[in-house]
Amino acid sequence: RNNIGKEGCRSIAKLLQRESSALRVLVLTSNEIGDEEAEILANSLKHNTKLADLSLGNNKIKEKGCRAFLKLLNDVSSIERTYNSNHTLTTLLLPDFTSSNYTKLAKHIASAMKINEENGGNSHDAGQAKVIATQLNSITRMELSSLQGVEYSHSRIYSEIEPVLLPNILALGGEKHGQNELYRVLIATVPDLASIVNEKVALTERMAENVAQIAALNAEYTRQIAALTAEHLRQTADLDDKNLEMGKKIEAIESGGGKQSMID
């Protein structure tokens, strides 16, 4: 039993933040670690890809500290943050405490670690699985948002998704979480889906206008080329006629000069 305190946790956190850190198991049971120390440790694991087993039993960690680890494992404030959460930690031993949220916190922490374990450290697969399991499930996302102090909006998540991808996302949500979830998502995304349809119509009309404009430009180009060609031919013919006349005058001059020489 020790009392490493904040400074001890900060020192450990620095080690965990190093890219060279190869520590896979860390046991810190019975160290008088409270919520603030737990937050320090949780924050140090955001980019850690080695530590898989962390024991913090028999400490003074309460709800705030558990929230920090839940956010570490599955940050639902955005799809991107969920995808980039910690996907390495598979075992986390925390002390029991009395709280109305303890069961919910423990359940979601366990769920996130199970996804990590099932995907064997593959950050892409684990991140994708967490997005599907939580972000595309409105009930789960609502509960996680409440636990993490994130403002919940049923349609907010879909504003992060490219409109053209929405149909595929809707199908995936319905496949994974059932028709009721699909219905809830449809209600939330009707404005976005309508905007896709309206945008498609508008783009089609603009494309038709562009085609018509191209045809008009081509016709004008052809007309101008024909006009320039005709003018070119007219001017060159005129110059040819002038050259012909001047050539005749030169011949006349030369012919007249020859006659003058014979007279002399």
- Convert the pLDDT of each residue in 181-219 to its tens digit: 656 666 665 665 556 556 666 678 788 888 989 999 999
pLDDT for position 40: 97
pLDDT for position 135: 87
pLDDT, average across residues 158-167: 62
Mean pLDDT, the chain, rounded, equals: 85
CA–CA gap between residue 115 and residue 231 (Å, rounded): 78
pLDDT exceeds 80 at position 222? yes
Between 183 and 263, the more confident residue is 183
CA–CA gap between residue 219 and residue 227 (Å, rounded): 12
pLDDT exceeds 60 at position 231? yes
pLDDT for position 254: 84
pLDDT, average across residues 28-56: 96
137 — pLDDT class (breaks 50, 70, 90): confident
Nearest to 134 by CA among 120, 114, 117: 114
119 — pLDDT class (breaks 50, 70, 90): very high
- The backbone torsions φ and ψ at residue 33, rounded to the nearest 5 degrees and listed phi first, read -80, 125
Residue with tokens 């305190």: 5
Which range (90-94, 178-182, 246-250) has the least confidence?
178-182
pLDDT for position 225: 92
Note whether 39 and 69 are within 8 A (CB): no
Nearest to 47 by CA among 97, 85, 95: 85
CA–CA gap between residue 169 and residue 109 (Å, rounded): 25
pLDDT for position 165: 57
pLDDT for position 3: 81
Q: What is the pTM of this model?
A: 0.65
SS (H, E, C) the chain: CCCCHHHHHHHHHHHHHCCCCCCCEEECCCCCCCHHHHHHHHHHCCCCCCCCEEECCCCCCCHHHHHHHHHHHCCCCCHHHHHCCCCCCCEEECCCCCCCCHHHHHHHHHHHHHHHHHCCCCHHHHHHHHHHHHHCCHHHHHHHHHHHCCCCCCCHHHHHCCHHHHHHHHHHHHHHHCHHHHHHHHHHHHHHHHHHHHHHHHHHHHHHHHHHHHHHHHHHHHHHHHHHHHHHHHHHHHHHHHHHHHHHHHHHHHHHHHHHHHHC
**What percentage of the chain exceeds 70 in pLDDT?**
78
Between 157 and 243, the more confident residue is 243
Q: Which of 21-30, 93-102, 167-176 has the highest mean pLDDT?
A: 21-30
pLDDT, average across residues 120-145: 90
- 56-107 pLDDT, tens digit per residue, is 999 999 999 999 999 999 999 988 899 999 999 999 999 988 888 999 999 9
Residue type at 241 in one-letter notation: D
263 — pLDDT class (breaks 50, 70, 90): low
**What percentage of the chain exceeds 90 in pLDDT?**
55
